[in-house]
Amino acid sequence: MGDAQVFREKRVYPRVEVSLRIKYKLIDDPKELSNILKDSKKNMEAQTMDISLDGMYLVSDQPLKKGNLIRLDIPLGDKGATLATFAEVMWATGPKSGLHFLSMKEEDTETLKTFLDGLSPAPEA
């Protein structure tokens, strides 16, 4: 059979291709968690490539590292709604990273689901 590698999808939720300009903050010091909502000086911007209910693919100007924890502010549509959540970098290659959301309120999950459902193509009959 050879050395062919088989990729097995591990995601629970399907990804939706969407390009959003998000803001994030790298958490270097665990003590920062208590101050993170007060201090926005270190906010950086990045671009999503796709997003699901449990993570996203991100391209940023400053490369991230596997294991980094970040706080994200994700704009949801043109009504000014923003979703704030924390994520862990699961993989990183140069400016590209795969993130896994760590904590999200149930109502935020529903808001994100509604947003993603609005972006997904309607199923064919």
How confident is residue 98, by pLDDT bands cut at 50, 70 and 90?
A: very high
Residue 10 lies in a domain: no
Q: What's the structural domain count of the chain?
A: 1
Residue range 107-123, pLDDT digits in tens: 888 888 888 888 766 55
Tell me, rounded to whole angstroms, the distance of Cα 6 from its chain centroid: 26
Q: What is the extent of the structural domain holding 20?
A: 16-29+42-119
How high is the pLDDT of residue 115?
A: 86
Residues near 16 by Cβ (< 8 Å), separated by ≥ 6? 50, 51, 52, 116, 119, 120
Tell me, rounded to whole angstroms, the distance of Cα 72 from its chain centroid: 7
Residue 102 lies in a domain: yes
Cβ count within 10 A of residue 44: 14
**Of the spans 5-9, 78-82, 97-101, 106-110, which averages the highest pLDDT?**
97-101
The rounded distance, in Å, linking the Cα atoms of 110 and 44 is 26
Residue range 5-60, pLDDT digits in tens: 554 556 666 677 878 787 887 777 666 555 544 544 567 889 988 999 999 999 99
